[in-house]
Amino acid sequence: MYGDEKMTELGKTITLWRGLGLAICMLIGTGILALPGLALDAGNVHEAVLGWLLISLVAVPLIQICARLGLKFPSTAGLARYAEEAVGPWGGYAVSYLVAGSFLFGLPAVALVGAEYVRQLLPLSALEVALFAILFIILMTLSNLAGIRAISLINYAALAVLFLLIGLLVLFNLNFLTSGLGLTVEALNGSAGSGVNVDPKKLWTIAALLFWAFLGWENLSFSLGEIKDPEKNVPRLYWLSFVLVVSIYLLLAFISAGAKAAGVPLQGAAGLSGLVRFTPGGDLLVWFMVIVVAANACSWNFTASRLLFSGGRTGIFPASLGKLSKRSIPVPALAVLFVSSFTLILATYIFKISVSDLILLVNQNFVFLYAFIILAYWKTETGWQKWVFSGLSLASLAFLVSGFTWEIIYPIFLIGLGYYRWTVSKKGKLLKKEKQYVLTPDETELPAGLQH
């Protein structure tokens, strides 16, 4: 399907440094604001820091595989191209449904994180938190209806605010950083005298939850066709962005652990707001965090709407989703995302579903998505690297999947739905081709120009 794509038509306009900026924007967002607190909510300080270290190690072979596939298939088809290499044409359908199913829960999760930060500033009940989350959904829909320029301005402003926040959090909490590093040493040594208590089940939950922080490198694949000097810059792009992003994550993880050990309340999706109280202008910075989450929600909504629109145009999703307004905006796709997000936020309030539960559902979908990526790598790589990195990556995925129970029905259902849609599409194309060659007796007797 994508084998004939002419890469020479793509302009090589992305330098290494521009690519690094793009990668960091894709990766650092809501996760960095929500996950430190959620990790501490799921376990103690030792389990939290070990979870961050563990998921960072688990990601290493996956980054290597993404870098190699990005070098071999620098295509705008991205993940769908990898999936086709892995299992054939139906893989593109399966991946599309996996990603769409992830957005279904991911968008409400991002909105609820934003509402939890508002809760740190205003005394909100559980119902009011849900209503603020719905307000985030309304705002992200309206911003996408305004067009790409509005989204770009929001993203640039939010990125500047995000890096300002990270810098201030580190600068004004160096004492907690030192304490957090000490706790990490204790956790790694496992000294009984230091009161270290690590529950393997909680450690898995934290690591599986933190996988959310490492979603984004696979989406970088859609931009690799425009990288200058790809042989040199694609591997550098993946590994430099990995080192930079993991360094930021670990810094905030250590600071959060140190603050929690000192008695600072940091649990929950808005956990980092507790650290902000130790910086000048704390309440204002919390509002800045709300802006970052709002921008992240807009970006997720933008990507999700384009995925649904593209799938509607190609037959992967219903054709009604593949329509544009007069201003070239995928309004039907945005409408579906609004309704689904609105409904799920209400469901989280009624059935008491936590943000962590939504994130875990999204993460397990991406675990299955990475299985397609690993298989594509194994089929296209040669030599010892094929076995070493495939084996390590499969072990990483097996670890992440091990704690899920009945929830794995969801990604399996989505993969099956993608396969079913591919078979229906394939049959439809075959029938259409057959009709082109079957003529009625009357039609065969008429000149070509008179047939109707």
pLDDT of amino acid 225: 61
How far apart are the C-alpha atoms of 359 and 342, rounded to whole Å? 17
Per-residue tokens: 294? 């709002």
Q: Beta-strand (E) ranges in 79-153? A: none
pLDDT means over runs of 10, the chain (452 residues): 41 66 66 82 89 91 87 69 87 91 93 90 93 95 86 77 84 90 87 68 88 75 66 82 87 90 78 74 82 82 84 88 89 96 97 91 89 92 90 88 83 95 84 64 45 42
What span, in angstroms and rounded, lies between the C-alpha atoms of 176 and 153? Answer: 34
pLDDT value at position 26?
63
- For the chain, domain boundaries: 12-450
Buried b (16+ CB within 10 A) or exposed e, 237-269: bbebbbeebbebbbbbbbbbbbbbbeebebbbb
CATH of span 12-450 = 1.20.1740.10
Instruction: Determine contact, residues 256/40, Cβ cutoff 8 Å.
Output: yes
- Identify the pLDDT of residue 449: 42
Say what the pLDDT of residue 70 is. Answer: 82
- 3 state DSSP class of 191: coil
pLDDT at 6: 42
